Amino acid sequence: MGHGHSHGNHGVVEVGQRARNYLLGILIAFGVLSVAGMIWLWPTSAEVDDAMTRVIDAPGLTYVDATVRSVEDGCESSVETPSGTASCITLEVDFLSGPEEGQQHPLELTGANVHSGLQVGDRIEVARVDTADGVHYNFSGVNRMPVLIVLGLLFTVAVLAVARWRGLFALVGLVVAAGVLIGFMLPAIIVGKPGMAVALAGSTAIMFVVLYVAHGVSLRTSAALAGTLLGLVVTTALGAIAVRAARLSGFADENEYDLAQLAPAINFQDLLMVGIIIGGLGVLNDVTITQASAVWELRAAAPQWTRAQVFAAGMRIGRDHIASTIYTIVFAYAGASLTVLLLLHFTTREPLALLSTEMFAGEGVRTLASAIGLILAVPITTGIAAITVGPARVPATGPEHGESE
């Protein structure tokens, strides 16, 4: 077998020529399939328009900007209920746009809006309804763009300050990933294209861009990419089997029912699968690049080790990584599903009976399928990297390094 060398920040690492060729051949095949899949599945604008029932505002409804001049408890229209006076506040607002620009007007807020913490000076959006019996105003929402912009800028500054050029490249990859998701995957799902094919084609393209842009073009990155793609295949297969075996419909709450009315071509079982695949991309990427880097460092530090020894040492690192990453996945899903989890405390049904309902079982399948794919990606990536770095230069000496703990 011939040998080559990989240069970079990980020392000079000898690589197996045949293993490198196999690795690059597999990645080229994945890349060609991804591009072909995206070309085949990419929907036209006419298909998207035909598949969507757009929400049209009522006649006479427009939106104007306003700022809060004052906030007072209670409303003139409040009525007594058996439990007391309904929670309500009155805002005095200054209109910043529309026919009434520069004028003031009171707005009454009830329900969840009362608890949003509105203060004097807040900028809000007001729904203006022009009817036969006059103009009516209703609170529409808060202008949260300044907060989002500030957080986005802080995020960008933190990434660039700490990661520097790597951080910049990571942000570029993130922008490309968002473009693939918004420009290809979501429209394809809306028009009813096969969900798993869409997810695999789009996710493969995203991973190619994200990994090579953020971590550079190298065999180390290629090994991580191969592990990521095979992990995606495992996650997809397990998720598809679990979704169908559990008879999940994809309709867990009212949002799915609303979406079904607006885009009837969507297959919600496929949509659930797409969510499983996309949800695991970030953590999967983190695990595979860490494992590939660990193997490269081990080979650079111990060129006399056999591939089996490098693999065993890499797996010892991988086990620690698995333990911490599993918590990341579970707590991420738990944090996003706190409302669902709280419902367990407000029912007389047994908790185990509730776990089999669509609302809870869907989250369970999503979490466990991603976790299994993540776990299996560790030995897959470690094995690919250990084979790629090539054989030992000299016979190993000293105590055996390949035993497992």
Residues 6+ apart with CB under 8 A from 223: 23, 292, 295, 381, 384, 385, 388
- Mean pLDDT in order along the chain per 10 residues (405 residues): 43 70 92 94 88 72 87 72 64 86 85 81 86 82 88 94 89 91 91 89 93 89 93 88 84 77 83 83 86 90 87 90 80 73 71 72 82 90 89 57 41
**What CATH number does domain 13-43+159-392 carry, 1.20.1640, 3.40.1350, 1.10.3120, 3.40.50?**
1.20.1640
- In angstroms, rounded to a whole number, what is the distance separating the alpha carbons of residues 243 and 276? 10
Q: Position 404: which residue type?
A: S
CATH 1.10.10 for domain 61-142, yes or no, is no
Return the C-alpha torsion angle 204, 206, 209, 213, nearest 10. -130
Under the phi-then-psi rule, with left for phi > 0, alpha for psi from -120 to 50, and beta for the rest, what region is 164? left
Return the C-alpha torsion angle 239, 240, 245, 249, nearest 10. 100
Of 48, 23, 36, the closest CA to residue 205 belongs to 36
How is the chain split into domains, by residue range? 13-43+159-392, 61-142
Q: Residue 113 has what pLDDT?
A: 77
Chain position carrying tokens 């709280």: 342
